[in-house]
Amino acid sequence: MDGHMDGQIDSVTPTTLDEPVSETILRDLRSVYSKLRVVLAPSNVRATSYEDNEALKLLKDWDLWGPLLICLILSVLLSVDAGSHGALVFSAVFMLVWVGAAIVTLNAQLLGGSISFFQSVCVLGYCVFPLVISAFVLLLLHTFVNSIILDLVIVTLAFIWSTRASVVFIGQFISEERKTLAVYPVFFFYIFLSWMILI
């Protein structure tokens, strides 16, 4: 599902056709890992211009494996926490991530942003990762303490972390006078997810 296809198989350059499957999977995992690092490192997203930023350039090479993994992990974590409602929570979170990301992207496109659909879905998906961490921490924490204030603090931190990277990303495709309109749904998407984690 790599967004980057050459279409030409040259005998000089090494091809990926005859490599072992394990290597292919590892390569994909490595690329997922490198993108995650970009999203998680807060110092990388400060640059205002997209073209100048090496880190964000990496995200231009989109894939959907990372978001799928992240989304599955989040759904499983939350459904474990939900007990008897598990199946419903799993499907709701799974749908929310994909439909939400699609709506946010469509909204940016409708506002006149020159953004590629899957690239934006990819970035939005990767930026969910801090929330996954917070869901995991909460799950562990609930075996010891059950304090709402602590939950709230952790999820809020994760929410800010998630929003920062994606807002910078979406914001740069939209003209200045419409930035707020495109950024509000992004913000809303993560609020929704944070709320799902909190309950």
Q: How far is the CB of 99 from other proteins (least distance, A)?
A: 11
Instruction: Report how far residue 174's alpha carbon sits from residue 195's, in angstroms, rounded to the nearest whole number.
Output: 27
Query: Taking CB under 8 A as the rule, does residue 175 contact other proteins?
Result: yes
Instruction: Report how far residue 102's alpha carbon sits from residue 56's, in angstroms, rounded to the nearest whole number.
Output: 20
Q: How far is the CB of 103 from other proteins (least distance, A)?
A: 9
- The total of other beta-carbon atoms located within 10 Å of residue 78's CB is 24
- The single-letter code of the amino acid at 187 is F
Which range binds other proteins by CB under 8 A, 21-29, 131-139, 164-172, 189-197?
Answer: 189-197
Of these, 31, 109, 116, 172, which contacts other proteins (CB under 8 A)? 109
Q: What is the CA radius of gyration of the chain?
A: 18
- The single-letter code of the amino acid at 123 is V
Query: Taking CB under 8 A as the rule, does residue 110 contact other proteins?
Result: yes
Q: How far is the CB of 60 from other proteins (least distance, A)?
A: 21
Q: For residues 82 and 23, is the Cβ–Cβ distance under 8 A? A: no
Q: Total residues at the site for other proteins (CB under 8 A)?
A: 25
Query: Taking CB under 8 A as the rule, does residue 177 contact other proteins?
Result: yes
Q: How far is the CB of 125 from other proteins (least distance, A)?
A: 20
Q: What is the largest CA-CA distance in the chain?
A: 61
Query: Taking CB under 8 A as the rule, does residue 112 contact other proteins?
Result: yes
